[in-house]
Structure 1
Amino acid sequence: MAACWLSILVPVYNVRPWLLECLQSVMEQTAPGDGVQVLALDDCSTDGCGELLQELALRWPGRLQLLRHERNAGLSAARNTLLEAAQGEYLWFLDSDDRLLPGAVAGLRAIVQAYGPDVVLCDFALLRERTRLKHRLRGEGHRRSFCGPARRLVRDRCALLAGLLDTGQLHAWSKISRRALWTDDLRFPAGRYFEDMATMPLLALRAASFYYQPSPWVAYRQRASSILATMTPAKALDQSAALAPLAQALRDTECASDPRVQRALAHQAARCLAGAMRYLCRQGCAADWGEPPTAAAQRLRENFLRISPLAPQALARDWLLRGWWLRRQRLLRWFNARPGA
């Protein structure tokens, strides 16, 4: 294994209440000289994160490396800067309000040493201030990030892509990848929302092998200020188009004709359409879309048609055969909705 086998990359912006918990969860699982690089980038925080990072760098001398943007550039740009500075053979993005669960780094190291996959997938737990019985009953202590073969090395990028799209869990922090996959033409799209959805499927297309460990390694904090909880017209439009780069890249690969990928991509495109249309129909003229709501709705539908390998009626028939009556009804409703008409 290379001297620096893993880089843990932490973009930081206005997360002071959770930053110490995040970095401590990493430091508790790493040690000096163990080949793990920990990089944190302050994207011009205004809540004292920069000062706290300086204090933590002194607490863990030589173990926490700090970077800083001169101007706030957003999550995608922060991750891209961290990518450029990473030295590890594998890269693990960790959001600075989340934390690694005990045993995560050791579990990853064992898989990398035994199998050397291009991508390692892990599950996650939802992190709340107060966990109630209803949260436990929902299974929030262990959420799956992948639908497919587990605990073995698999050399099938189409299975990887289909399994990711099936669950819709396309976040960067549940996927640890070889740095060699991140060539100059693969970066997070700066200035766009749903950047993980636009990027991680493209990464999957480059992987020759993967290993899915169905254990929660990351505790994901749900916050009221998340992208989905604070939708805007710009976010809705980006959501509806996030998978367009994948649809374009698929055309030249064997996965384009794979039925698993076709169904999974169509399903995920429909979910994106539904999320964007739901917001549009609720807000209508009350939000600044820059165009009439009917025109915005047409743009959302066009994005679906550009991405989905299956037409709406074909997808509706597939869902009917699967017994997904309610899901089918919602698809047809959102595709034919005319907000503001």
Structure 2
Amino acid sequence: MTWLSILVPVYNVERYLEECLSSVMEQLPAEGGVQVLVLDDRSTDGSWQLMQQLSQRWPGRLQLLRHERNSGLSAARNTMVDAATGDYLWFLDSDDKLLPGAIAGLQAIVVQHAPDVVLCDFRVWRERARLKHRLRGEGHRRSFDGPAGRLVRDRGRLLAGMLMTGELHAWSKLSRRALWGSADGSGLRFPVGRYFEDMATMPLMALRADSFFYEPRPWVAYRQRGNSILATMTTPKALDQSAALLPLAQALQGRPELQQPGLRLALAHQAARALVGAMRHVCQGKLGDAQPQPSVLAERLRQNFRAASPLSPEELARAYLRRGWWLRRRKFLRWFHAMPAA
């Protein structure tokens, strides 16, 4: 039986791909049971040719897929979700890598507890790590704020813990394939053509889960690249960032989880972080385009916050004060009320 599918989307990562896949191959269980799907999204470098070479190095261990045309990260992941056969899914970006013991650690948790979702920590991976990076704790970043090392059946607690850290990336959240449903339109898939796709999708996945297990050990090395797709902000990126939590807010309407104070604060806090991240670029004139007008765009960002957050700006500011989060309150109010230069 295939208990795990590891999904690796590939686009112009020839420089990093071998190291990524080697980190997987080196720890595959001898008894099998792990499917490794690698999909080329029509790379323009030598990624596809390298994939073919690596499949010959590890015969029968890699399952290669290729899109007919470049369709983006979300579409690549969606294609692999549809092709996966494992009970659990692990999304792994092709410029990152698995740390030693990751698959064995996951297997032990699955065998003993069989949770719907397993969360793991990560470390930031830099080619030139400096002292300041170590002081920031990049060697071990938490992906979850909540109970660790045990099975928990509390959907609201799962969502709150994910949202409070803001680490909503797909590769630190391993999930049952059953949570994603079928490809007939009723299942959960990543939004094609949108930025911040993880922020829009992973909370919705968590909302379908009945149980989770948080393992506070780094299982993934996240490569920090200066030329990533989000290194520069544009108007579409700013709008997608501020609107990423709207599907979750809509899905939570009328559900008992939304009455949990911890979840209400966490969702409002993450909506505020998304607003601040986008508003900073708008007000400082750092967008790579000029449409719409900055003042119009800023108001749209504020509207998205109000629609996503269960707390009003005033309620969130008071919540920050009660917890002594003075700097967070100051930053949020500054950028919420900021007006871009004409």
Q: Partner amino acid for 2:138?
A: E
**Cα RMSD over matched residues?**
1.1
Q: CA deviation at 1:310?
A: 0.4
> Counterparts of 2:123 and 2:97 in 1: how far apart (Å)?
10
Structure 2 spans left out of the alignment, 5+ residues: none
TM-score, length-scaled by structure 1: 0.97
Q: CA deviation at 1:287?
A: 4.2
> Counterparts of 1:313 and 1:266 in 2: how far apart (Å)?
11
Q: CA deviation at 1:331?
A: 1.2
Question: 1:299 is matched with which residue?
Answer: 300
1:187-336 equivalences under 5 Å are 187-283=189-285, 287-336=288-337
Instruction: Say if 1:335 and 1:92 are closer, same or farther in 2 by CA, change over 3 A.
Output: same
> Counterparts of 2:31 and 2:5 in 1: how far apart (Å)?
13
> Counterparts of 2:137 and 2:328 in 1: how far apart (Å)?
22
Partner residue of 1:61 out of 59, 62, 68: 59
Q: Partner amino acid for 2:61?
A: R
> Counterparts of 1:59 and 1:31 in 2: how far apart (Å)?
17
Cα offsets for 1:46-77 (capped at 9, x unmatched): 11000000000111111001000010000000
Cα offsets for 1:119-166 (capped at 9, x unmatched): 000000000102222222221111000000000000001000000000
Aligned residue pairs total 338
Partner residue of 1:79 out of 57, 77, 80: 77
Q: CA deviation at 1:116?
A: 0.3
Percent of pairs with identical residues: 69
> Counterparts of 2:288 and 2:81 in 1: how far apart (Å)?
36
> Counterparts of 2:89 and 2:211 in 1: how far apart (Å)?
16
> Counterparts of 1:309 and 1:94 in 2: how far apart (Å)?
32
Matched, 1:174 2:172: yes
> Counterparts of 1:213 and 1:126 in 2: how far apart (Å)?
17
**DSSP 3-state at the match of 1:216:** strand
Q: CA deviation at 1:289?
A: 4.1
Q: CA deviation at 1:257?
A: 1.1
2:233, 2:288 within 8 Å by CA — same for their partners in 1? Answer: no
**DSSP 3-state at the match of 1:214:** strand
> Counterparts of 1:63 and 1:288 in 2: how far apart (Å)?
45
> Counterparts of 2:247 and 2:15 in 1: how far apart (Å)?
35
Structure 1 spans left out of the alignment, 5+ residues: none
1:20-35 equivalences under 5 Å are 20-31=18-29, 33-35=31-33
Q: CA deviation at 1:319?
A: 0.8
Q: CA deviation at 1:33?
A: 4.4
Q: CA deviation at 1:322?
A: 1.5
Q: Partner amino acid for 2:322?
A: L
Question: 1:15 is matched with which residue?
Answer: 13
**DSSP 3-state at the match of 2:241:** helix
Greater mean alpha carbon deviation, residues 130-139 or residues 37-46: 130-139
> Counterparts of 2:94 and 2:262 in 1: how far apart (Å)?
34
Q: CA deviation at 1:305?
A: 0.3
1:122, 1:145 within 8 Å by CA — same for their partners in 2? Answer: yes
Question: 1:47 is matched with which residue?
Answer: 45
